Amino acid sequence: MGDILIRKDRRAGRITFTRPQALNALNHEMALAIHAALAIWQDDSDVSLVIINAEGERAFCAGGDIAAVYRAGLKGDHQVGRDFFRDEYLMNARIADYPKPIVAFMQGFVMGGGVGVGGHASHRIVCESTQVAMPETGIGLIPDVGGSWLLGHAPGRIGEYLGLTSGRMGPGDAIHAGFADTYLPEKEWPVLIDRLAATGDVDLIIGQEPPEAPLETADLSAFGGRTVAEIIAALETSGDEASLKALRRNSPLSMAATLALVRAARGDRSVRDSLAREYRFTWRATAESDFLEGVRAQIIDKDRKPKWAADHQDAKVRAILEPLGDADLKWGEDN
């Protein structure tokens, strides 16, 4: 497959994203390939650990490749999106619960679908160029791929802040917020990857002092508001114009649903609970949300002027997060 390279390398299973020209965006076939490889290596005694990395300097993975989902949704075909999100989430859960170490080397942009791969690995390495974000509210979606789980378990109100504003984190903030574990300059990665593959020993991962984490001292108390409206009111009182600009730009329905998802995730037993709840939104996204308009404005036409029209009242938020019955995300015996 031209978009991803999967092979065994001595003691390691190796997964490398190989479409740097597309910022290593994750498509449906790539998600299925990762899931299948992990299933095979789980019982392979020759594989002691898994290494996931990416070609190119600009991105580990800048998000999901949702062009096909968008095109199908415009035609009224909602199953393409539902199938993609389902299989992606099954893969995310396998990474999160994998019985062997998974080491992710995350340079450049790590956003959306990239967080779903690297953010759930057991050993998450970032470098000087790393920029992590869950920017989905800007395209009318919600922080999915287990993003609500990670946001919900970030310290303080960082989860609400990042989820609603689509804010980016450098390496220091990513470690502080629980999206990464280890800081190591990228120039040192090739030697470490080679040693990991040769030995299968994750104890060889020794990081360096990470850069500062501005979020550690930021006053995010306004994001403790009960609703998005209350958060906006508190931000207006405090004069936080940067956050206000982001909240005024993003989809009102997506932000309201994100707030509910992040807070619900704090009570979840595992990432699977959060993924199942996220799937209720994304299953309905192409038919009942601002998603198609958000993708049009931000990715297709790139006019950056989405016309948000979806109802975002409490009843709508509850409805779009309601269980799907037989369509709810299901976990197979091997997942």
- CATH number for the domain spanning 141: value is 3.90.226.10
pLDDT in tens, 122-166: 999 999 999 999 999 999 999 999 999 999 999 999 999 999 999
Q: Looking at the chain, how many residues does it have?
A: 335
Contact 127, 76 (CB under 8 A): no
What distance in Å separates the CA atoms of residue 132 and residue 110, rounded to the nearest whole number?
5
Taking the CA atoms of the chain, what radius of gyration do you get in angstroms?
19
Report if residue 182 sits inside a domain: yes
Q: For residue 262, is it within any domain? A: yes
- Name the residue type at position 137: T
Distance from C-alpha of 41 to C-alpha of 49, rounded to nearest angstrom: 9
The candidate with the shortest Cα–Cα distance to 320, out of 266, 262, 272, 261, is 261
Which residue carries 């308009």 as its tokens?
293
**Mean pLDDT over each residue of the chain, to the nearest integer:** 97
The whole domain housing 159 covers: 4-326
Contact indicator for 132, 168 with CB cutoff of 8 Å: yes
Per-residue pLDDT tens over the stretch 98-131: 999 999 999 999 999 999 999 999 999 999 999 9
Q: Looking at the domain assignment, is residue 331 inside a domain? A: no
| Residue 335 is assigned to a structural domain of this protein | no
Q: How far is CA 305 from CA 112, 139, 294, in A?
A: 21, 11, 9
b/e 180-194 (16+ beta carbons within 10 angstroms → b)? bbbbbebeeeeebbe
pLDDT of residue 27: 96
Q: Is 334 part of a structural domain of the chain?
A: no
Residues of the chain with pLDDT under 70: 1, 333-335
Output the six-digit token pair for 7: 């092979």
109 occurs within a structural domain: yes
The reply to whether 73 falls in a domain is: yes
CA distance 70 to 25: 15
Specify the pTM: 0.96
143: in domain: yes
> How much is the pLDDT for 331?
87
Tens of pLDDT, residue by residue over 19-30, are 999 999 999 999
310-320 confidence digits (pLDDT tens): 999 999 999 99
- pLDDT, position 334: 60
Domain count, the chain: 1
